[in-house]
């Protein structure tokens, strides 16, 4: 929540005095909602939603180009591709401060976890404004030292002889690779890293074959494209914001710069 425990305790105590009811009770080291608190929960949620909507509407009417704009994107996009866009934003709107939220999870734009999101899926929430920037391509890569030691695999059959950098233990990434004709098993993964930027760094260190966007690979001359016979992994890039926020001047400026920077590959 962004507040310290003592501060939150004081706020809860003040609210209990104001309402004249006990909202929480301590049971051992835990804190549980009382029956009275549970009865008021829906009213509090309604008030919270109204407060968020008020903040969104107020931000949407702002004409200033000064202030903070938060952008959420996947780890690799945030680490490798966003810096160029942020540099451009600083030139166009020097009064804007960019907050970068590197996360693969879809942030809740309506609750202002972020102002703008770069996503790989189209949002279904009608309250969000989305623009399809383009379809990006990802390929398989290995370090030049790895290739010198292990050779240059090109086909799906060649892939069976080598180790890969994985991303999870529940089989989602493995299933994706299998869809592209790679009949791999869990034994083909030398190391797992859910953070995509870390996964790419591990591939750069020669620990196995990794996958990344071609624009990111172009920024890493020491990486060599392998498994050339395998079709590229295609995925969309969506730029998303809340429809109310899209009318705020500083957010509109940042949104438009991101659309320009990510609308065409920089390779």
pLDDT tens, residue by residue, 95-152: 999 999 998 766 667 666 889 999 998 888 888 889 999 999 999 999 999 999 999 9
- Gap between the Cα atoms of 202 and 143, Å rounded: 10
Q: Is residue 28 part of a domain?
A: yes
User: 70 is written with which tokens?
Assistant: 């938060």
Q: What is the pLDDT of residues 51-96, one digit of tens each?
A: 666 665 655 555 567 889 999 999 999 999 999 999 999 999 999 9
Residues 162, 182 within the same domain: yes
Count how many Cα atoms sit within 13 Å of the Cα of residue 79 in the half-sphere of its side chain: 18
Residues 144 and 224 reside in one and the same domain: yes
Query: For the purposes of burial, counting CB atoms within 10 Å of the CB of 4, is it exposed (0-12), middle (13-18) or buried (19 or more)?
Result: exposed
Give the Cβ contact number of residue 11 at 10 Å. Answer: 11
Distance CA 33, CA 41 (A): 9
Q: What is the token pair recorded at 192?
A: 């797992």
What pLDDT was estimated at residue 258? 95
pLDDT given at position 42: 87
pLDDT tier at 266 (50, 70, 90 boundaries)?
Answer: very low
- Asked if 144 and 229 sit in the same domain, the reply is yes
The verdict on residue 171 lying in a domain is yes
- Same domain for 125 and 154? no
Instruction: Summarize pLDDT for 219-261 with one digit per residue, the tens.
Output: 999 999 999 999 999 999 999 998 777 778 888 899 999 999 9
Q: Residues 157, 187: one domain?
A: yes
Q: Does the residue 190 lie in any domain?
A: yes
Distance CA 24, CA 32 (A): 5
Task: Average the pLDDT over 35-59 and give the result.
Answer: 76
- What was the pLDDT predicted at 267? 40
C-alpha–C-alpha distance, residues 130 and 132, integer Å? 7
Residues 41 and 27 in one domain: yes
240, 163 in Cβ contact below 8 A?
A: no
User: Phi, psi (5° rounding) for residue 155?
Assistant: -115, 170
Structure-derived torsion over alpha carbons of residues 181, 187, 190, 196, reported in degrees to the nearest 10: 50
Q: How much is the mean pLDDT over the chain?
A: 87
Q: DSSP per residue over the chain, as a string?
A: --S-HHHHHHHHHHHHHHHTS--EEEETTEEEE-HHHHHHHHHHHHHHHHHHHHHHHHHHT-----EEEEEEE-HHIIIIIHHHHHHHHHHH-TTEEEEEEE-SS---TTTTS-SEEEESS----TTEEEEEEEEEEEEEEEEHHHHHHH----SHHHHTTS-EEE--SSSHHHHHHHHTT----GGGEEEE-SSHHHHHHHHHTTSSBEEEEHHHHHT-TTEEEE-TTSPPEEEEEEEEEETTGGGSHHHHHHHHHHHHHHSS---
The Cα-based distances of 159 to 149, 151, 156 in angstroms read 15, 11, 5
Query: Is the distance from CB of 215 to CB of 265 less than 8 angstroms?
Result: yes
Same domain, yes or no, for 14 and 42?
yes
Question: Domain range for residue 22?
Answer: 5-60
Q: Please tell me the total count of domains within the chain.
A: 3
- Quick check: is 158 in a domain? yes
94 plus 112 within the same structural domain: yes
Structure tokens at 148: 């010198």
CA distance 34 to 25: 6
């Amino acid at each position: 929540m962004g507040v310290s425990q003592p501060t939150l305790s004081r706020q809860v105590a003040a609210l209990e005095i104001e309402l004249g009811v006990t909202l929480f009770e301590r049971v051992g080291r835990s804190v549980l909602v009382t029956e009275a608190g549970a009865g008021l929960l829906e009213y509090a949620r309604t008030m919270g939603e109204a407060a968020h909507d008020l903040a969104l509407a107020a931000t949407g009417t702002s004409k200033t180009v000064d202030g903070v704009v938060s952008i959420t994107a996947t780890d690799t996009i945030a680490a490798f591709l966003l810096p160029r866009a942020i540099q451009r934003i600083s030139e166009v709107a020097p009064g804007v401060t960019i907050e970068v939220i590197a996360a693969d999870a879809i942030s809740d734009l309506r609750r202002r976890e972020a102002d703008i999101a770069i996503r790989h899926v189209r949002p279904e929430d009608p309250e969000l404004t989305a623009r399809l920037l383009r379809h990006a391509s990802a390929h398989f890569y290995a370090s030049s030292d790895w290739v010198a030691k292990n050779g240059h695999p090109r086909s799906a059959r060649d892939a069976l002889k080598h180790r890969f950098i994985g991303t999870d233990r529940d089989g989602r990434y493995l299933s994706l690779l299998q869809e592209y004709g790679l009949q791999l098993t869990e034994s083909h993964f030398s190391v797992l890293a859910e953070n995509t930027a870390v996964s790419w760094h591990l591939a750069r260190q020669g620990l196995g074959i990794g996958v990344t966007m071609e624009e990111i690979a172009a920024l890493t001359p020491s990486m060599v494209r392998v498994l050339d016979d395998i079709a590229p992994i295609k995925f969309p890039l969506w730029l998303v914001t809340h429809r109310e926020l899209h009318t705020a001047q500083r957010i509109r400026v940042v949104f438009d710069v991101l659309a320009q920077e990510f609308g065409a590959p920089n390779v």
